[in-house]
Structure 1
Amino acid sequence: MTSAGDDKRCRLVSVTLDEASLGRGNPDQEHERAVAIWDILEENHFTVAGHEGGPYALRIALVDRKLALEIREAEGAHVVSHFLSLTPFRRVIKDYELICESYYAAIRTATPSQIEAIDMGRRGMHDEASELLRERLAGKLDVDFDTARRLFTLLFALHWKG
C-alpha cells in the first residue's frame, strides 16, 4: 500500500523532447506534441524498476533508430536510460494513422453512428498500442494503463506526418 506521499513520487513531473534527434515538426505537429506532453504531466503513474526515487523527469530522443528514454530524478540526478526499439510499433502506428485519417474524414461526412463505430475502432487500436508499450517497458518502467495510453499518444505525435 502506498501513502499519499509515495503517490507524489511515482510520477513524471517533466517530459522533454530532444529536438536535435527528433527534429521540430510543423505547427500542427508541435501542437499535438505539446498537448500529449501536457496530458501526460496532468495525470500519470511512473516508476523505475528497482529505484526508490521520484518524482521523475523524462527526456526522449532518437538514437540509432531507437527511442531513448533518459530518466532523471526531478532534481536532475540520472537514474537510468532505456532504449526502446520502434520496430514492434511500426504496424500499430501505421494502422492507427489510417484509422485516425478515416475518423477525421468521417467527422466531415458520416452519420453519427458511423463516426461512433470508427471511433470505437480507433480507441481499440489505441488500447492495443498502449498494451504493447507496457509490455515493452515491463521490468524496466512501471506505468499504469492510462499513462501508457498518454505515452503512446506522444509516440504517435512524434511520427505523425501532419
Structure 2
Amino acid sequence: MTCMSSTPFRFRLSAVSLDPALGGRTDAAKKREQAVAVFDLLDNNRFTPIEHGGGPYPLHLSLVDRRLVISVTTENGAPVLCHHLSLPSFRRRFREYRLVCESFANAEARLSPERLEAIDMGRRAIHDEASALLRERLKSKVEIDQETARRLFTLIHLLFSQELLGRGI
C-alpha cells in the first residue's frame, strides 16, 4: 500500500506490525480498529528518531515482560531504535479508555446523538491525555506529533488488551 503524506518521506513510518497480531480471540471491532489506526498512521505521521539521519522506518510493537518493546529499523532492516517502555503509568488510561469505548458501543443504539457526543468527547480527552504521556515518555528517543501519538496509543491499547485477554483477565 502506498500512502501519500505531507510529512517529509525521510521522517515517517512506512510499515507497522504488532506482535502478537490480533488473532482469533479478538472480535471484529478490535480488528477493524487496528486496521483503521494502522491505515491512518501510515497515511500521515511524523516519526523522527533522535540523532538519526532519516528513514522511512518500519515499526514493530510487542509486549515482553509487561513492557512495550518499540523496535524501529530502516527499510533495509538496519536497527535504528529498540526501546522498552514501562506501562504502569498507562494502566489507568488503558482502563479508562476501554470503559469509555465500551460505554459508547453499548449506548450507541439507545442514546441520543447529544449523549453519544458527550461520551465521545470523554473518549477523546482520555486519548489526548494518553498520547501526551506517550510523547513525553518517548521524547528522548523519538519525536512524534500528537496525531501520530494518538494512533500509536490506540495500537498499544489494543496490544495490551490482547495480552490481558490471552491471560484471561
TM-score normalised to structure 1 length:
0.88
The size of the alignment, in residue pairs, is: 157
For residues 6 and 158 of structure 1, do their structure 2 counterparts lie closer, same or farther at Cα, with a shift above 3 Å needed? closer
2:55 is paired with a residue whose SS is: coil
Structure 2 runs not aligned, ≥5 long: none
The structure-2 alpha-carbon separation of the partners of 1:134 and 1:6, relative to structure 1 and needing over 3 Å to count, comes to closer
> In angstroms, what is the RMSD of aligned CA positions?
2.1
> Which runs of structure 2 are paired with 1:151-162 in the superposition (5 Å)?
151-160=152-161
Structure 1 unaligned blocks of 5 or more: none
Q: Deviations over 1:104-139 (max 9, x none)?
A: 122111111111111111111111111011111011
Over 6 Å off, 4+ runs: none
Identity among equivalent positions (%) equals 46
Match of 1:93 in 2: 94
Higher helix share: 1
Deviation readout 1:55-104 (Å, 9 max, x if unpaired): 11111121221111111011211112001111111000101111111111
SS of alignment partner, residue 8 of structure 2: helix
Give the CA deviation at 1:33.
Answer: 2.2
Question: Residues 118 and 84 from structure 1, CA distance in 2 versus in 1: closer, same or farther, beyond 3 angstroms?
Answer: same
What is residue 18 of structure 1 aligned with on the other side?
19
Comparing 31-40 with 135-144, which one deviates more in the overlay? 31-40
Give the whole-Å Cα distance in 2 for the aligned partners of 1:141 and 1:7: 15
